[in-house]
Chain A
Amino acid sequence: MFPVSGILIAAALSSILSQQSAPIFQPGAPGAPARVITQAEAVDLGRTTFIPADVAFMQHMIVHHGQAVEMVDLLQTRAANETVRRLGQRIASSQAAEIDLMRDWLNTRGQPLEMPGMAGMHAGHDMGDHALMAGMLTPNQMAGLAAATGPAFDRLFLEGMIRHHQGALDMVDELNANPDAAEDPMLSDFATSVVADQSAEILRMQSILSEL
């Protein structure tokens, strides 16, 4: 069985050391000497933060991912092809997980989940095409998808989802084009994984589409 022996509260046996100090160096560029800095300067160098473009990226991507989940909802009753169905479910679960991650990121930083005036975007009502994120289906296109069934639906779904995913890649490109954006490590990792995952899914969808 599981070994549990000699449980002890070790704090009594150990010495908790108070803070020590030594010179703090800030190196220069390669070849240049280091300079000695103060404790306050050292801490200051660690301060970084996100910028409004990062927040907007996450807010927009939540809406963008939300539409993918809605498209897969339609797929449950309309798709003909089993491969398309399975792929759709996988996309929905990964996009839902990423939505949670993005909400966490915004919550952690005290940022609203939606941009002012963004309410209603999820449902796609009352909006012209121009207000949608890159690659998103317009309300008319969503209605067209909802009206289709069988092989016609499969084709529309794949075409729509490929464009939708491509839009996400464009959004990441746009974010990265801003030199001050994506410096937050978690956001940077997330953006990288969006690119990796969605590129792979696009390839997969193109291959399924060619075989329909």
Chain B
Amino acid sequence: MTIRSCLFSSAAALSLLFSVGQAQAQAPAGPRPPAVFPDARTALTGGLRDAGIAASNLALEYSVAPPPGFFDPDALFAPPTNRAEAEALQARNRASPPRYSALALANSDMAMSNGRLFVGNFHGFNGYDVSRGGAPELVLSVVCPGGQGDVSVHGNLLFMSVEQNRARLDCGVKDAEGEVNAERFRGVRIFDISDLNAPRQVAAVQTCRGSHTHTLLPSASDPNVLYIYNSATSGVRKTDELSICSDGEPGTNAETALYSIDVIKVPLDAPEQAAIVARPRIFADAETGAIAGLWKGGRSGVSSQRTAGTNHCHDITVYPELNLAAGACSGNGILLDISNPEAPKRVSDLFDPDMAYWHSATFNNIGDKIVFTDEWGGGTSPRCRAEDPANWGANLIASVREDRTMEGRNFYKLPGIQMATENCVAHNGTLIPVPGRDLMVQAWYQGGVSIMDFTDPNRPTEIAYFDRGPIDASKMVVGGSWSAYWLNGRIYSSEIARGLDVLKLVPSQYLSAAEIAAAESVMVATINPQTQTRAVWADTPDVATAYLDQLTRASAVNAELATEVRSQIDPWRAGSPDSRGAARLARTLNAESEKATGADQMRMKALAGLFERMAG
């Protein structure tokens, strides 16, 4: 299962060259290691608001500075990198002590609902009206410190992850004393946002390790029930503070709050009654039932990553239509059957010696691939420098077999080398709904935003990017894109220190105007990126042209057939479709598809199906 990745581990490379050569002989499109090199985004000029920008096939439409109350230059976090800097900082701090902890005002994750974009922050969250397609308009700011402030939305409820000890039930930070404090809050907050002029906290579900991220899972059978899968990564709180909690390894404490996730049930007509209903042991050994059944932590080989032990998930992405969830769980990637939301059951797991910390997961639209990210170093370090391995801190593209086991296929890392002044590693993204292709837009902190085509899981490639220079050219100040999501036609990027960016796709040889139009036509009322829904496309001239553009780009159709397809699309676009011609073309395409393979075969069949429906 890990042979492919061992290929890219330098120590194992020689011993495996032979077997890999064989694999490539059988499959011409075999994996090859990711390549990184200097490009236009490598040496951009620095600056908080005026850094140099490089973009390829993406255009920055709007850049919105952090709202009042969510920015202070003193809150920027700059680890010194040499002795002189350290001494200067020490002197400064002795004169006046620092007022903020790291990331105190950092922007984090996003969700969108009914034309409103919610941007989480370690300090609370902000709401923007984006319904009119222009610049995002700030409509609401809520201050409620506690980090990391990941947000989700369902109906009139907004959910927020809280993990830090300093967080309080009443959203304040002061006057809580004692080792055990009834005012302390670590878990998932629930806000009623039905009136943006009077947001109200309606519930706060306490959990043993707080909440680092959470995932919404609406019940398929009961519209009044919403489940939350809570992923928590920090320490276990004291039993005296929360009676269901106790710490320790399973060998000494079978009730340990480690090695589980929290399943929270929210009755939507009475959200104040939200409560934990299960803490399933999803890492248990399938045969022995031992609670700690997955990776124990450490290196698997001399030159391997030091992979974290699997006692929690960092993030879970559910795909309700498939009854599946992909868990990025510290030392492993796991696949869960969620047919019974209260009892998720692990059906397979993946380990890889080049993955340090399994951080997040994204299915492709069909659900036969999963992109796992590796947050090597935790996000505050520069990990995209020339000397950093190209398969560390990267995406691992895995395929999902019929029997729901997973296989790692290849890595993808931000191709453009970044400087030591830029924190950079794989982070959060979503699919871009282009029919016929698997595209994902993704945040790489100060590495910027990158769009990856992983239609061929063995050969993921970049087709577009946007990047700024470092916040400060002289030292590493933590910042960059936390999440970059495709949300109803635009890419929204939540920048840790600089605010909110809106990006638009620009046509190129890698992505046509029709493909972009097809993606922009997909509209979803509510988007919580960790709750995936299947993109569906209406039968339109743009969608047909998108498939044709892809087949032409891949040289999978001859010129004659391409012309015939175009001669059907043009009158259709002009408002006078030719149904008899469409029926004939559908037959031709179906016949041609038998000669094609892989993605091109699927595109041809999809195009044939489209013309069949048009013919009536």
Query: Interface on A for B, CB 8 Å cutoff?
Result: 2-11, 13-34, 37-39, 41-43, 45-50, 90, 93-94, 97, 104, 107-112, 176-179, 182-186, 188-189, 191-193, 195-197, 199-201, 203-204
Interface stretch (choices B99-107, B338-346, B366-374, B486-494): B99-107
Residues of chain B from 151 to 202 with CB closer than 8 A to chain A in the complex: 163-166, 169-173, 176-181, 190-191, 197-202
Q: Are A185 and B102 in contact (CB under 8 A)?
A: yes
Q: Are A32 and B123 in contact (CB under 8 A)?
A: no
Nearest 9 A-B pairs (CB), nearest first? Answer: A42-B69, A110-B93, A14-B60, A107-B86, A110-B90, A39-B68, A20-B138, A27-B201, A29-B170
Considering the chains assembled together, what is the distance between the CA atoms of A49 and B190 in angstroms? 27
- What are the residues of chain B within 8 A of A90 when measuring CB–CB? 298-299
- What are the residues of chain A within 8 A of B400 when measuring CB–CB? none
- What are the residues of chain A within 8 A of B463 when measuring CB–CB? 3
Considering the chains assembled together, what is the distance between the CA atoms of A21 and B139 in angstroms? 8
Q: Does B571 contact A (CB under 8 A)?
A: no
Q: Are A179 and B178 in contact (CB under 8 A)?
A: yes
Q: Are B90 and A112 in contact (CB under 8 A)?
A: yes
Residues of chain B from 87 to 109 with CB closer than 8 A to chain A in the complex: 89-94, 97-105
Q: Are B177 and A188 in contact (CB under 8 A)?
A: no
Q: How far is the CB of A45 from chain B (nearest CB, A)?
A: 5
Q: Does B521 contact A (CB under 8 A)?
A: no
Query: Interface on B for A, CB 8 Å cutoff?
Result: 35, 37, 39-40, 49, 52-72, 75, 77-80, 85-86, 89-94, 97-105, 122-123, 127, 135, 137-145, 147, 163-166, 169-173, 176-181, 190-191, 197-204, 233-235, 249, 251, 272, 296-299, 306, 308-309, 311, 378, 380, 415, 461-463, 466, 506, 508-510
- What are the residues of chain A within 8 A of B68 when measuring CB–CB? 19, 21, 24, 39, 42
Q: Are A2 and B415 in contact (CB under 8 A)?
A: yes
- What are the residues of chain A within 8 A of B177 when measuring CB–CB? 179
A10-B53, A24-B142, A42-B141 are known; give 12 further A-B pairs, CB within 8 A.
Answer: A6-B57, A6-B506, A7-B40, A7-B55, A24-B67, A29-B204, A43-B69, A49-B98, A90-B298, A179-B179, A182-B235, A197-B298
Q: Are B164 and A185 in contact (CB under 8 A)?
A: yes
**Given the known A-B contacts A25-B143, A195-B235, are A19 and B65 also in contact in the complex, defined by CB atoms under 8 Å?**
yes
> Which of the residues A11, A14, A30, A193 comes within 8 Å of B169, measured between beta carbons?
A30
Q: Are B203 and A30 in contact (CB under 8 A)?
A: yes
Considering the chains assembled together, what is the distance between the CA atoms of A42 and B170 in angstroms? 14
Considering the chains assembled together, what is the distance between the CA atoms of A75 and B144 in angstroms? 51
Residue of B nearest to A14 (CB): B60
**Given the known A-B contacts A14-B62, A47-B104, are A19 and B67 also in contact in the complex, defined by CB atoms under 8 Å?**
yes
Q: How far is the CB of B233 from chain A (nearest CB, A)?
A: 7
Residue of B nearest to A38 (CB): B69
Considering the chains assembled together, what is the distance between the CA atoms of A26 and B174 in angstroms? 13
- What are the residues of chain A within 8 A of B251 when measuring CB–CB? 203
Considering the chains assembled together, what is the distance between the CA atoms of A15 and B63 in angstroms? 7
Q: How far is the CB of B184 from chain A (nearest CB, A)?
A: 8
- What are the residues of chain A within 8 A of B35 when measuring CB–CB? 2
**Given the known A-B contacts A43-B69, A200-B309, are A25 and B141 also in contact in the complex, defined by CB atoms under 8 Å?**
yes
Q: Are B39 and A4 in contact (CB under 8 A)?
A: yes
- What are the residues of chain A within 8 A of B105 when measuring CB–CB? 43, 46
**Given the known A-B contacts A16-B63, A191-B235, are A37 and B201 also in contact in the complex, defined by CB atoms under 8 Å?**
no
- What are the residues of chain B within 8 A of A14 when measuring CB–CB? 59-63
Q: Are A45 and B98 in contact (CB under 8 A)?
A: no
Considering the chains assembled together, what is the distance between the CA atoms of A173 and B234 in angstroms? 14
Q: How far is the CB of A199 from chain B (nearest CB, A)?
A: 5
Q: Are A24 and B141 in contact (CB under 8 A)?
A: yes
Considering the chains assembled together, what is the distance between the CA atoms of A189 and B102 in angstroms? 12
Residue of A nearest to B251 (CB): A203
Residue of A nearest to B306 (CB): A94
Q: Are A196 and B311 in contact (CB under 8 A)?
A: yes
Considering the chains assembled together, what is the distance between the CA atoms of A17 and B498 in angstroms? 11
- What are the residues of chain A within 8 A of B140 when measuring CB–CB? 22-23, 25
24 contacts between A and B (CB under 8 A): A2-B39, A7-B40, A11-B53, A15-B61, A17-B65, A18-B65, A22-B138, A24-B69, A27-B142, A32-B170, A34-B199, A42-B68, A42-B123, A45-B172, A46-B145, A50-B101, A94-B306, A107-B90, A108-B89, A109-B98, A110-B86, A111-B90, A189-B234, A200-B309
Q: Are A108 and B80 in contact (CB under 8 A)?
A: yes
Q: Are B59 and A28 in contact (CB under 8 A)?
A: no
- What are the residues of chain A within 8 A of B144 when measuring CB–CB? 26-27
Q: Are A10 and B59 in contact (CB under 8 A)?
A: yes
Residue of B nearest to A200 (CB): B297
Residue of B nearest to A94 (CB): B306
- What are the residues of chain B within 8 A of A8 when measuring CB–CB? 55, 59
Q: Are A26 and B171 in contact (CB under 8 A)?
A: yes
- What are the residues of chain A within 8 A of B60 when measuring CB–CB? 10-11, 13-14
Q: Are B67 and A5 in contact (CB under 8 A)?
A: no
Considering the chains assembled together, what is the distance between the CA atoms of A30 and B275 in angstroms? 14
Q: Are B56 and A188 in contact (CB under 8 A)?
A: no
Residue of B nearest to A110 (CB): B93
- What are the residues of chain B within 8 A of A16 when measuring CB–CB? 49, 63, 65
Considering the chains assembled together, what is the distance between the CA atoms of A126 and B308 in angstroms? 38
Q: Are B272 and A183 in contact (CB under 8 A)?
A: no
Q: Are B79 and A108 in contact (CB under 8 A)?
A: yes
Considering the chains assembled together, what is the distance between the CA atoms of A7 and B67 in angstroms? 30
**Given the known A-B contacts A16-B49, A23-B140, A108-B79, are A185 and B200 also in contact in the complex, defined by CB atoms under 8 Å?**
no
Residue picked from A13, A22, A50, A203, most chain B C-beta under 10 Å: A22
Residue picked from A15, A39, A43, A104, most chain B C-beta under 10 Å: A43
Q: How far is the CB of A71 from chain B (nearest CB, A)?
A: 18
- What are the residues of chain A within 8 A of B378 when measuring CB–CB? 189
- What are the residues of chain B within 8 A of A20 when measuring CB–CB? 64, 67, 137-138
> Which of the residues A17, A30, A34, A204 comes within 8 Å of B204, measured between beta carbons?
A30
- What are the residues of chain B within 8 A of A19 when measuring CB–CB? 65-68
Q: Are B164 and A188 in contact (CB under 8 A)?
A: yes
> Which of the residues A24, A49, A189 comes within 8 Å of B97, measured between beta carbons?
A49
Q: Are B202 and A110 in contact (CB under 8 A)?
A: no
Q: Are B141 and A23 in contact (CB under 8 A)?
A: yes
Residue of B nearest to A176 (CB): B235
**Given the known A-B contacts A4-B39, A5-B57, A107-B86, are A45 and B143 also in contact in the complex, defined by CB atoms under 8 Å?**
yes
- What are the residues of chain A within 8 A of B75 when measuring CB–CB? 46
Residue of A nearest to B49 (CB): A16
Residue of A nearest to B180 (CB): A179
- What are the residues of chain A within 8 A of B61 when measuring CB–CB? 14-15
Residue of A nearest to B178 (CB): A179
Considering the chains assembled together, what is the distance between the CA atoms of A170 and B98 in angstroms? 29
Considering the chains assembled together, what is the distance between the CA atoms of A28 and B75 in angstroms? 25
> Which of the residues A15, A43, A50, A191 comes within 8 Å of B72, measured between beta carbons?
A43
Q: How far is the CB of A145 from chain B (nearest CB, A)?
A: 23
Q: Are A48 and B272 in contact (CB under 8 A)?
A: no
Considering the chains assembled together, what is the distance between the CA atoms of A193 and B308 in angstroms? 9
Considering the chains assembled together, what is the distance between the CA atoms of A33 and B142 in angstroms? 12
**Given the known A-B contacts A34-B199, A184-B101, are A48 and B166 also in contact in the complex, defined by CB atoms under 8 Å?**
yes
Residue of B nearest to A12 (CB): B53
Q: Are A3 and B199 in contact (CB under 8 A)?
A: no
Considering the chains assembled together, what is the distance between the CA atoms of A112 and B83 in angstroms? 12
Residue of B nearest to A16 (CB): B63
> Which of the residues A7, A27, A108, A179 comes within 8 Å of B181, measured between beta carbons?
A179
Q: How far is the CB of A54 from chain B (nearest CB, A)?
A: 10
